Amino acid sequence: EIVLTQSPGTLSLSPGERATLSCRASETIYSVYLAWYQQKPGQAPRLLIYGSSTRATGIPDRFSGSGSGTDFNLTISRLEPEDFAVYFCQQYVSSTWTFGQGTKVEIK
Amino acid sequence: QLQLQESGPGLVKPSETLSLTCTVSGGSISGSGYYWGWIRQSPGKGLEWIGNVYYSGATYYNPSLRSRVTISLDTSKSQFSLRLNSVTAADTAFYYCAHTGTHNKFDHWGQGTLVTVSS
């Protein structure tokens, strides 16, 4: 089973700053099957990025995804107040889906 | 716009079976090429994939839960269901249903429902 490890566990930043979140897979995965989600308290997760780098419908362009092989990143170019949330990566391989444990982006 | 809604008991006794239904609207549940899935989240914790059902009815489960899980599709009611047997307190969680689109991403989610396992 492929394990996704996200780092850091918590990122403390100020509005306007740049956030870089990491997702590392225990084995090489297909970039086409790597996605990122945002979750706010009391809400279901929302799809942000799929195929490693494609923004989902309605997602602002300050969100970008990159990476390949085992290392993937989600970057928020300039944090807006509504971006403080928890972010999860997710992968698919061989009829199995797995999630990372999440990174919390909190206001410094 | 595809919408999903979970329903089912919010309280289940230990050793019994947890049963939830997801009702789909705004799209066809039998559309080819797509999966429908269940994901759970223990309070304050991360997301755990439970399993998916393909439009054809084929099922795929998390290996750690496979022995206790059944997911099924009822196209006549535009619903899919989750059954998890022999539950314990460790199964207390928010349960989400979701549509799995191209690139095997979860692109539409239900609002989630809290299921508590307690006597």
> Is residue B18 a contact partner of residue B91, using CB atoms and an 8 Å limit?
yes
Largest CA distance in chain A: 40
> Is residue B100 a contact partner of residue B2, using CB atoms and an 8 Å limit?
no
Residue contact B107–A56, C-beta within 8 A = yes
Residue contact A32–B49, C-beta within 8 A = no
The answer to whether B52 faces chain A, any CB pair under 8 Å, is yes
Residue corresponding to tokens 């991403």: B105
B54 or B32: which leads in pLDDT? B54
pLDDT of residue B32: 73
A63 or A94: which leads in pLDDT? A63
pLDDT of residue B108: 96
For B111, the closest chain A residue by CA position comes to A44
Residue contact A33–B103, C-beta within 8 A = yes
Percent of chain A with pLDDT over 70: 100
Is pLDDT at B51 greater than 90 in this prediction? yes
Is pLDDT at B81 greater than 90 in this prediction? yes
pLDDT of residue B49: 98
pLDDT band, residue B34 (cuts 50/70/90): confident
* Mean pLDDT score, B4-22: 98
B-chain CB neighbours of A33 within 8 Å are 103-104
Q: Tell me which residue in A44, A50, A102 faces B105 most closely, judged by beta carbons.
A: A50
pLDDT of residue A85: 98
pLDDT band, residue B31 (cuts 50/70/90): confident
DSSP annotation string for chain A:
---EEEE-SEEEE-TT--EEEEEEESS---GGGEEEEEE-TTS--EEEEETTTEEPTT--TTEEEEEETTEEEEEESS--GGG-SEEEEEEEETTEEEE---EEEEE-
User: In whole angstroms, how far apart are CA A13 and each of A6, A19, A71, A79, A80?
Assistant: 17, 8, 22, 8, 11
The chain-wide mean pLDDT, for chain A, equals 97
Is pLDDT at A82 greater than 80 in this prediction? yes
**pLDDT tens by residue, A1-43:** 899 999 999 999 999 999 999 999 999 999 999 999 999 999 9
Count CB pairs under 8 A between chains A and B.
Answer: 60
Residue contact A102–B46, C-beta within 8 A = yes
CA separation for the pair B11, B103 (Å, rounded): 35
Indicate the burial class of A59 (C-beta count within 10 angstroms; 0-12, 13-18, 19 or more).
middle
